[in-house]
Amino acid sequence: MNINNGLVMLADAWPGVNRIRAVQRALAGRPDPVYLEIGVSRGQAFQRIAADVKIAVDPAFKLSERTRQLSDAKGRETHYFETTSDAFFENETAFLERHPIDVALIDGLHTYEQVVRDVEYTLRYLRDDGVIFLHDCNPPFALAGRRAESWDEFVAQQSGPLVIGIWNGDVWKAIVQLRSTRPDLLVGVLKCDQGVGFVRKGSPESTLPYSVEQVEALTYADLKADRERLLNLKPTRYLNEFLAAGAGSPPR
């Protein structure tokens, strides 16, 4: 997808890569993998992803009976937690200790503070060679990157009819904050599917110098002016390199 005003190109030489394919590629070859998805909603991703154990978290599932059947068919165990991610991590410690996470997809509330919390919570239960993916990390234009506390609030902010059906929020700031405050993580964004963020334990290629207060003050104009550096933006072919690097982690 190309934005005609030249703001950003969302795809590169691998147009078929998206968050779902990235997750499935990361799960491939792992023994009895555990998959966590935060922000399942209607199950667009969850129903298509196969893993031994699948964990769905959402405060208000919108899953049809058919979608739930398809989701369940792609896992030996499927667990549904209809709650906020904060409550899930606070209340399900014992469950998570029994199910260390191989791959997670975070696609819940599109505010960067919540995304940072979701990443940091997930890291507590992520295997040493585990991978976290984040959706909506590269908003193509200012309206898509507008901050709101929910989709309904985002729609209400627009004057007149809904102009676009894309809302990324300020999730991109989570990438900036993690790259600035977590020197123990490799963090970046793939140029596809509205920006697929990636996180794993390990040494970063580069870091950023921003304080938490400076991250809060960043605007979409800052992102537009310095997108490549702020996001550690990578072509989709980098996914293979990223996953191969983690394959050398100690045996589980």
**In the structure encoding, which two tokens stand for residue 190, read together?**
């793939």
pTM listed for this prediction: 0.88
Render pLDDT for 112-164 as a digit per residue (tens, 0 to 9): 999 999 999 999 999 999 999 999 999 988 777 666 655 566 566 666 555 55
So where are the chain's domains? 3-244
Which of 24, 75, 73, 16 is CA-nearest to residue 45?
24
pLDDT score, position 199: 98
Render pLDDT for 241-250 as a digit per residue (tens, 0 to 9): 999 887 655 4
What strands lie across the sheet with 233-234, from one edge to the other? Answer: 77-81, 53-57, 34-38, 101-106, 126-134, 196-201, 185-190, 233-234
pLDDT score, position 108: 84
pLDDT at residue 30 greater than cutoff 80: yes
pLDDT score, position 142: 75
Render pLDDT for 46-82 as a digit per residue (tens, 0 to 9): 999 999 999 999 999 999 999 999 999 999 999 999 9
* 5 pLDDT tier (thresholds 50, 70, 90): very low
pLDDT score, position 138: 95
Greater confidence (184 vs 11) lies with 184
CATH code at 3-244: 3.40.50.150
Which of 180, 226, 177, 245 is CA-nearest to residue 206?
180
Range with top average pLDDT, 12-26, 142-156, 179-193: 179-193
pLDDT at residue 4 greater than cutoff 50: no
